[in-house]
Each structure stands twice: as structure tokens, then as C-alpha cells.
Amino acid sequence: MMDYILTTNALTKKFGSYKASNEVSIHVQRGDIYGLIGRNGAGKTTLMKMIGGLTHPTSGSFEITGKNGEKTEKMMPKVGILIEAPGLYPNMTAMQNLKTKAIALGIKDESYLQGLLKEVGLENTGKKKAKQFSLGMKQRLGIAMALVNQPELLILDEPINGLDPQGIAEMRQILHHLCNDRGITILISSHILDELSKVATRYGIIHEGKLLEEASKEELFARCSERLELKTNDITKTLEVLNSMGFSKIEVKDDTINIYERLNEGGQITVALAKENIMTNEIALKSDALEDYYFQLTGGQSND
């Protein structure tokens, strides 16, 4: 039996006639880093706000640790939330910001708060004010504040958006630590699919407010079409050889021949081409990136 820490049941949010979230039903297992994939405006933030108790659903319901989402007062102590920009006091230090959150929760253990700062790499910021922090530092402080109440579920909306490569790497390390070492389940959204693929263990793909697909990392990557990419010095003759060998699932893109069947026969192909004096410049097994699969699924096109 699956141990779901979060389930949503046809969760819907309407603004007038527009459905920002349209009967979305996701299933987040305890211990997952569950990645919500979707373009900006796909409905990720609206879904997270409903789960976090920041907005009321128009219809549908959700459960966290088996408790109905309408009973917000029973649910919230188990949830940490960072949606959109962290709510920081710009003229306070990292520790002072943490203390304001801790006081509201009745927590007075300063060593515990110092430990949270260490977990997110901010233990040495001293008297530096939050307004002087980089975007990455502000995001990490926002995560520390979301951890004050020792949540079982952490909800993070686009935490890597706008970060530089170093900031993204630091965020990735923190997420792995929280999940693997602290046992915190994480629901994270992003439109940067390549980075999300480096941390998420399960995915929900959202498009125009609807959940199109749920899959584990292994299932999703298996659906990204594998192919042999072949480059030779003569495309026309190469196609003739491939046809004579019985290959039919073939596509030519620029100077590359993509073969979508019998992917273990690269050696035989090379030998057959050599017999016809065709030089193989490159042959390799490739698969689509997560972003490519997403655009195929939604019928859209990459911005690249």
C-alpha cells in the first residue's frame, strides 16, 4: 500500500470562468521530491497555494497525512511553505528573521535556529541585513524559515528561478539533504525542466490547469524516446543501406539520421556501411531531454 503524504482530489480553482486549476489529482508519496512541471501560468502556483492553505479551492479536496485539507488548523503544522518571494524583513539579519517566525510558533531555542541556518549555508552571515543578500541567499533563508516548524511536507514554488549556476547547485544540494537526510517530502515546481530532472524522484506534468500525467523518474525518462543518432559522409547512400537492412523508423534532421528501432544494432550498421565504403563519422544512443518530452506531450514548442 502506497504511503501518500499528500493527495489532491479533483482540486479546482476558478477565477470567473477561468479555471487556473482544473480537477487536478496528484499523489505524493512520503519521501518523494515531487516535481510539478509546467510553463509559467500552467497552474502550478495556484495548486500549491490551495495545498498550503493560502487560497480556497472552488471545488475538490485534498489530504495531508490523511487529514482533509479543509481542516487547515490541523494540517498546517506539518507543512512548510515558500511560494513566490520569501517574506523577509529587509532590515533584519538572517537570525532575526528566523526568530520572528519562531516566536510566532512558540519556539525559543536559538541553537535550533542556528542549526537551520547552517543547513542552508547561512550560518556565517552575522549582522548582514537581508536586503544585502543575493537572490540565492534570500531563497535559502526562505527555506530555513519554512523549516522552523519541523514540517513533514515542504512546498517550494520555483525556488531556482532567477538563480545563477552556483545558486542552483547550492539549492540542489539543500533539497537532496532535506529529503535524504531529514526525511522531508518536497513538492517543488519549476519551468526549468533540466534542473528539475536532477532532483525530482516523481513528476506531475501540468498544462493549462490540467494534470496531463504523473510518473516516477524512471517511468518518465523511459518515455523519452531513445534513438541511434548516425552521421556519415553520404546520407543518401546510408539511407539505401539502412533500407536494405529493413530499417523503416528513420528520420533525417540536417546532417543526422535518427533511427528509432533495433537500437542494439549499431555495430551491424557500421559494418554494413563500411562494406559500401561509407564512412561513419558518429553513431551514438541518445534520448530526448525532459523538456523535449514535455513539449511533445503538450503540443507546444521550445523557446530555444
What is the predicted pLDDT for the residue at 40? 86
Q: Can you tell me the distance from the alpha carbon of 147 to that of 129, in angstroms, rounded to the nearest whole number? A: 20
CB 152 within 8 A of CB 176: no
Beta carbons within 10 angstroms of residue 277's beta carbon: 9
- Per residue of the chain (304 residues), give pLDDT as tens: 678 999 999 999 999 999 999 999 999 999 999 999 988 889 999 999 999 888 999 999 999 887 665 565 677 778 999 998 888 999 999 999 999 999 988 898 999 999 999 999 999 999 999 999 999 999 999 999 999 999 999 999 999 988 888 889 899 999 999 999 999 999 999 888 878 888 999 999 999 999 999 999 888 877 777 789 999 999 999 999 999 999 998 999 889 999 988 999 999 999 999 999 999 999 998 877 777 778 878 876 554 4
CB 155 within 8 A of CB 82: yes
Cα dihedral across residues 160, 166, 169, 171: positive or negative:
negative
The C-alpha cell at 118 is 547552517
The C-alpha cell at 65 is 497525512
CB 193 within 8 A of CB 39: no
Q: Which residues is 63 bridged to in the sheet?
A: 7, 68
- In angstroms and rounded to an integer, the radius of gyration of the C-alpha atoms of the chain is 24
List, in order of start, the domains of the chain with CATH numbers. Answer: 4-222 (3.40.50.300), 225-287 (3.30.70.980)
185-190 and 153-157 beta bridge pairing: parallel
CA-to-CA dists, residue 106 to 54, 79, 99, 100, 110, angstroms? 22, 16, 10, 10, 12
Q: Can you tell me the distance from the alpha carbon of 35 to that of 37, in angstroms, rounded to the nearest whole number? A: 6
CB 281 within 8 A of CB 231: yes
59-64 and 250-253 beta bridge pairing: unpaired
Q: Can you tell me the distance from the alpha carbon of 21 to that of 13, in angstroms, rounded to the nearest whole number? A: 5
CB 24 within 8 A of CB 211: yes
The DSSP symbol for 264 reads: T
Q: Which residues is 249 bridged to in the sheet?
A: none
Q: Can you tell me the distance from the alpha carbon of 257 to that of 190, in angstroms, rounded to the nearest whole number? A: 33
The C-alpha cell at 217 is 523518474
The C-alpha cell at 250 is 528513420
Name the pTM for this structure.
Answer: 0.78
CB 295 within 8 A of CB 302: yes
Q: Can you tell me the distance from the alpha carbon of 168 to that of 113, in angstroms, rounded to the nearest whole number? A: 24
Residue type, 24: V
Beta carbons within 10 angstroms of residue 161's beta carbon: 16
